[in-house]
Amino acid sequence: MGAASNELSNKQINRSARFLADLRIRLLAGETTFAKMSAEERRQIIECVGILENWRGRHAGPLRNANANLRHYVRPFAAIDQDVVSVTQRLKKFSTILDKLGRYPRMQLTRMEDIGGVRAILPTQHAADDVSRRLRKNWKVSRYRDYVREPKVSGYRALHLIVIKQGVKVEVQLRTFLQDFWANQVERDSRYLRIDYKSGKGAEPVHAYYVSMSELFAMREASIEPSQDFNSELLSRYRLAQPYLGSVVDGGVP
C-alpha cells in the first residue's frame, strides 16, 4: 500500500486515518509512547501519515476553486459594504482531522465534509440568503443546512452548503457579521480558557449565556427590540457565566 498512490481505495484511506486517530488517543492518554514502538509500527505510522496527507492535499485545488468562484457571488455586496464583506478559506489541519475522528469514532475520513472550507461574511441575512440561493441554483450542492432558521442547540447560526468541486466535498459557510462575531467569540473563549466550548464542553451556564447572546444578535439583525423579560434573563445568564469566563465576558459583547 503506497502512500503516494492515487489509486488508494476509500477503505485503505479510512483504515489509515482511523489507525492514526486511535494512536493519538492512546498517546494523549499516556498508554503508549513512540519510544516503545517497534520499527514496524513506526513504518506503519509513516505510511499512514503519508496516506492521510495525500487525501488532505487533494482538497487544496478544489478549495481554491471554490474560494475564487464564491468571490464572484459576493462581489455585488462588497461594493455596498466592503468593510464587512470577506471571503476566506482554510484547509483543516492534520491534527484537527485526527481530533475530529477521535471525537466521532464511527466517522470515516472519506465522508468528512469539511476538510476544505470556505467562508463568506455578508452584511445582512438577506445578502446571505441571496448568495445561498444562487449557489444552490448554479453549483453542485450535496447538502444544505439552514442554521439561521433552525439554530444549533449551542446557538450557532449560519448557512452551510456542502458542494462538490473537482470530485471532493468543500464546505461553504455564509455568515452575517454578528453571526461570525458570535462564533469567533466562542472559539476565542475556548482557546483562552483551554475548554472546548465550541464542541459543547464546559459549564452549562456558559452555554446558556452563549445561546442568549446568539438570540440577541439575531434580534439586532432583524431590528427587533428585546423585551424586558429577555433582557432580565440575559443579565441573569451573564452573571451565572461570569465566574467561569471571568474577564473574557467583559470584552465579549460589541
Per-10-residue mean pLDDT of the chain, 254 residues long, equals 58 96 94 92 96 96 97 92 91 95 94 97 96 97 97 96 96 98 95 89 95 97 96 97 76 44
Looking at residue 229, its pLDDT comes to: 98
Based on the residue annotation, tell me whether 171 is a catalytic residue of this protein. Answer: yes
Looking at residue 83, its pLDDT comes to: 84
Closest CA to 217 of 130, 129, 125, 83: 125
Secondary structure (H, E, C), the chain = CCCCCCCCCHHHHHHHHHHHHHHHHHHHCCCCCHHHCCHHHHHHHHHHHHHHHHHHHCCHHHHHHHHHHHHHHHHHHHHHCCCCCEEEEEECCHHHHHHHHHHCCCCCHHHCCCCEEEEEEECCHHHHHHHHHHHHHHCCEEEEEECCCCCCCCCCCCEEEEEEECCEEEEEEEEEHHHHHHHHHHHHHHHHHCCCHHHCCCCHHHHHHHHHHHHHHHHHHCCCCCCHHHHHHHHHHHHHHHHHHCHHHHCCCC
The pTM is what?
A: 0.88
Of 47, 171, 204, 225, which is the active-site residue?
171
Looking at residue 4, its pLDDT comes to: 40
